[in-house]
Amino acid sequence: MYLHQSQKNYFGEIKRRMKTINDYKEKILFDLSTLTPRKIVENLDKYIIGQDKAKKAVAIALRNRWRRQQVERSMQNDIIPNNIILIGPTGVGKTEIARRLANLTSSPFIKVEASKFTEVGYVGRDVESMVRELMDFSYNQVRNELSEMFREDGRQKAIERVLDILVPLQVKPNDPKKVEKEERFKRTREKVKEKLLKGELNDKVITVPVDEPTPQFEIIPSFGMENLDINFGEMISSMLPHRRERTREVIVEKAIEYFTEIEISKLTSRDIVVEEAKFRVENNGIIFIDEIDKIASLDKKSTSDVSKSGVQRDLLPIVEGSNVPTRYGMVNTTHILFIAAGAFHIAKPSDLIPELQGRFPIRVELNSLTKKDFEKILTIPENALIKQYTAMFKTEKVDLNFEQEAISEIANFSTIANEKMEDIGARRLHTILNAVLDDLLFRMPDAKIKKITIKKKDIVDKVLPLMEDEDLSKYIL
């Protein structure tokens, strides 16, 4: 590089970066501080109809995380999260609440299925992997955020590096005309830089060194198989020295992109990312354990149930608070919030081992959905089924409408089908609506189909015959 950074410059740079990172930490805390329980519920209301008790419980739990961080340090450690169990029949919004909560908070959040875990020592995924997964999530989240923050800096540095290649300094230290030559060189460099910034040199081909590891090639030792997301082909070819190219010809535009990524990864050094990621996991992390009823055991003697209690026992220390080794170092789980959910059709919360029950002090029941709820679910949420289908029809240039009575009728049939067969909650709306629309979905695009208004009669004509035929209803609805 033609300008050597003095030590002073270097420390100035570090200080500036640390300030940016501190500003950024404050911003995150500010974002959290604006997320009041009311606001959380308001946001969940956009997607989930009813289930007010559950929404309130998760909103309070989320807010309590922030509250804890505001109290005196000495007290912070004693405030443990109020882990929640959401109990309710299938298809009433348990998982949906978790999904929407995840989008809402900048806290690290993952959802796991309890039934996927096996006891330590058996083949399968051990319970600790959930903490590793949360840490991975957080690491990537922080890395992405910091990369965005430093993108402009990285680009500036990348441009200088491309200039180093385009306009190399060729002055010997003992050249008698050194000063004069350097002056000329600076002027040339400024001119070329101007052109570069205008994009005039974008297509020019230059030779860049490629032996610096690019961020994608970062190889990290991993514990569980689920972390093996490395492309082996790339890994191996990058390890074989004779296949490694030392330089590559690329156009200036690509070279800037390439150097930008490299400079960003230098700016967002691993320890800074790990430190922040770990802080977030330990203080704001949320793990949603779905299908927890699947690891509750009814019969303590049957072997499958013995292994279920094994998973529960493995889960205990994690929920209680312990140190879990991850590829980023030990992560303490004491303040991670756990939200569990289950239908508890057969097993009851009391079938969980008592110690675990004690770790989930807050129990919230979700209600079965009524016909009125169904009508709302069809139309109100931002991702409501009818909105989805209307948008899909529009891609075929068809204007799809439902009369209010038709919507009531879909809700009505859904309620009846849930009573007559199994109660699958709001998932029934999918099957009924699909039965109503599949004919049209198949025929489109069709020049003759431009505007469709679904009336009550259309619903009855399509759905009633299916309902009346027991076999058909079993398979189709």
Ligand X SMILES: Nc1ncnc2c1ncn2[C@@H]1O[C@H](COP(=O)(O)OP(=O)(O)OP(=O)(O)O)[C@@H](O)[C@H]1O
**What is the contact surface with ligand X in residues (CB under 6 A)?**
48-51, 88, 90-96, 343, 377, 381, 425-427
Phi, psi of 438 (to 5 degrees): -65, -30
Residue 91 interaction partner, one of ligand X, Mg ion, none, beta carbon < 5-8 Å per kind: ligand X
Select 88 or 285, whichever has its Cβ closest to Mg ion. Answer: 88
Q: Are 201 and 252 in contact (CB under 8 A)?
A: yes
Residue, CB closest to Mg ion? 95
Select 91 or 310, whichever has its Cβ closest to Mg ion. Answer: 91
Q: Provide CB contacts within 8 A for 328, sequence distance 6+.
A: 135, 139, 274, 277, 278
Query: Taking the complex as a whole, how short is the minimal distance between the CB of residue 341 and Mg ion, in angstroms?
Result: 6
Beta strand ranges found along 109-148 (DSSP E):
109-113
Site residues for Mg ion per CB under 5 A: 94-95
Q: Please state, in angstroms and rounded to a whole number, the distance separating the CA atoms of residues 186 and 470.
A: 85
Q: Please state, in angstroms and rounded to a whole number, the distance separating the CA atoms of residues 401 and 246.
A: 61
Query: Taking the complex as a whole, how short is the minimal distance between the CB of residue 91 and Mg ion, in angstroms?
Result: 8
Select 48 or 324, whichever has its Cβ closest to Mg ion. Answer: 48
Query: Taking the complex as a whole, how short is the minimal distance between the CB of residue 126 and ligand X, in angstroms?
Result: 23
Select 99 or 327, whichever has its Cβ closest to ligand X. Answer: 99
Q: Please state, in angstroms and rounded to a whole number, the distance separating the CA atoms of residues 315 and 472.
A: 43
Query: Taking the complex as a whole, how short is the minimal distance between the CB of residue 412 and ligand X, in angstroms?
Result: 17
CA 429 to chain centre: 27
Structure tokens, 460: 């009855």
Residue 154 interaction partner, one of Mg ion, ligand X, none, beta carbon < 5-8 Å per kind: none
Residue 159 interaction partner, one of ligand X, Mg ion, none, beta carbon < 5-8 Å per kind: none
Residue 379 interaction partner, one of Mg ion, ligand X, none, beta carbon < 5-8 Å per kind: none
Query: Taking the complex as a whole, how short is the minimal distance between the CB of residue 94 and Mg ion, in angstroms?
Result: 5
Q: Are 113 and 290 in contact (CB under 8 A)?
A: yes
Residue 425 interaction partner, one of Mg ion, ligand X, none, beta carbon < 5-8 Å per kind: ligand X
Select 94 or 308, whichever has its Cβ closest to Mg ion. Answer: 94
Q: Please state, in angstroms and rounded to a whole number, the distance separating the CA atoms of residues 349 and 352.
A: 6
Residue 49 interaction partner, one of Mg ion, ligand X, none, beta carbon < 5-8 Å per kind: ligand X
Query: Taking the complex as a whole, how short is the minimal distance between the CB of residue 360 and ligand X, in angstroms?
Result: 17
Structure tokens, 200: 């005039």
CA–CA distances in Å: residue 230 to residues 194, 233, 291, 456: 40, 9, 30, 54
